[in-house]
Amino acid sequence: MKKAYLGVDVGSISTKGVIIDKNNKILAEAYLWTEGNPIGAVKRLISELANQFEQKKYKVVGVGTTGSARKLTGTILGANVVKNEITAHAIGTTSLYPEVRTIFEIGGQDSKIIIIEDGIVVDYAMNTLCAAGTGAFLTSQARRLGLEVEEFGPLALQSNNPTNIAARCTVFAESDLVHKMQIGHRREDIVAGLCKAVVTNYLNNVGKGKKIKSPIVFQGGVSKNIGVIKAFSDVTKEEIIVDPNSHLLGALGVAILAKNKKSEKDFDFDINEIEFETRGVECKKCANNCEIICVFKDGYLIDSWGNRCENGAIKIKEQS
């Protein structure tokens, strides 16, 4: 049987997964909403991938996880690689675009910028605090305008005169949007203005002080929005490259990292039968009161983290 590798990227909004072969070719892919339940999302993702995957021809021998729930997911899937999003996105992107110098990434609730030289990450920044430069912001503003977020991009392209929208933070942007609607700005101009506001906010926050050089690759869920792509191109005066799999590049990157690991272990797709549970426990041994996350598989503790020192470590008993 041929070898394959699974990469899973679990974020707060969406959960992504790919299975690749030894040449990094994607054999199966899935993208779904996390819906506040990373364990449930990973189970659904694995079922979806199993349906697409030729299990008679290939076997998965390596698993990598990334994203905000990477540790939890890594424990559940028995991953041999658990990596942060910066590394995963950089590896995924450079595998397709070896010359890339700048990666813009805008997801549902966070955004990042990665600066690359000769295929190596030399600088990066992440924004997890202000929503004004993220997909969640665009979705909420679309609703306010009575639109689906998918309608945003094509509508923005119809504008010749994007409305200026204060982009400093979500609250300012929202009140400014309402004001511009009341004084009669056209809907396409407001939508184009919002796309530009997301870009300006992004460049003034995560992009602040960064040496943005071409080629630029834009990824994450918001990279599907043609209005935001155009706004990036207008503001930076550079070509913006968006891969057809721009939403999967973190998962691809961590699958490649799993492939590069020497250790191999056959992966069992049948995780739906297994009961996983997480519990938070507060360590009271000092004033830090660390919240320790414990993961139980069929009632047995299989992993824990969150303790800032060894005094708070929770011992895992061997299953008999």
Residues forming contacts to ligand SF4 in the complex (CB under 6 A) are 283, 285-286, 288-290, 307-309, 311-312
Least spacing, CB of residue 292 vs ligand SF4, in Å: 7
For residues 231 and 164, the answer to whether their CB atoms sit within 8 Å is no
User: 223-239 as b/e, with b when 16 or more CB fall inside 10 Å?
Assistant: bbbbbbbbbbeeebeee
CB of 272 or CB of 289, closer to ligand SF4: 289
Residue 6: count other Cβ atoms within 10 Å of its Cβ. 29
Whose tokens are 């690749």? That residue is 20
Among residues 107 and 312, whose Cβ is nearest to ligand SF4?
312
Neighbouring CB atoms inside 10 A of 295's CB total 20
**Nearer Cβ to ligand SF4, position 125 or 314?**
314
Q: At 69, give phi and psi (nearest 5°).
A: -105, 30
**How far apart are the C-alpha atoms of 32 and 277, rounded to whole Å?**
21
Q: Residue 287 Cβ, how far from ligand SF4 at the closest point, in Å? A: 7
Q: How far is the CB of 102 from ligand SF4 (least distance, A)?
A: 38
Token pair listed for 271: 């995780």
Q: CB 283 → ligand SF4: shortest distance, Å?
A: 3
DSSP state of 92: H
In the bound complex, what is the minimum distance in angstroms from residue 281's beta carbon to ligand SF4? 10
Query: Which residue lies nearer to ligand SF4 by CB, 193 or 312?
Result: 312
Angle, CA 120 vertex, CA 132 and CA 69 arms, to 5°: 50
Q: Which amino acid is at 73?
A: T
Q: How far is the CB of 122 from ligand SF4 (least distance, A)?
A: 33
Q: What is the Cα–Cα distance from 228 to 212, expressed in whole angstroms?
A: 17
CB of residue 285 to ligand SF4, shortest distance in Å:
4
| CB closer to ligand SF4 out of 118 and 310 | 310
Q: Which is nearer to ligand SF4, 241 or 290 (CB)?
A: 290
DSSP state of 238: S
CB of 295 to ligand SF4, least distance (A): 17
| 51 vs 288, beta carbon nearer ligand SF4 | 288
Residue with tokens 């409305």: 163
Kindly write down the DSSP assignment for every residue of 138-166, as one continuous string.
HHHHHHHTT--HHHHHHHHHT-SSPPP--
Q: Which is nearer to ligand SF4, 56 or 315 (CB)?
A: 315
Residue, CB closest to ligand SF4: 312
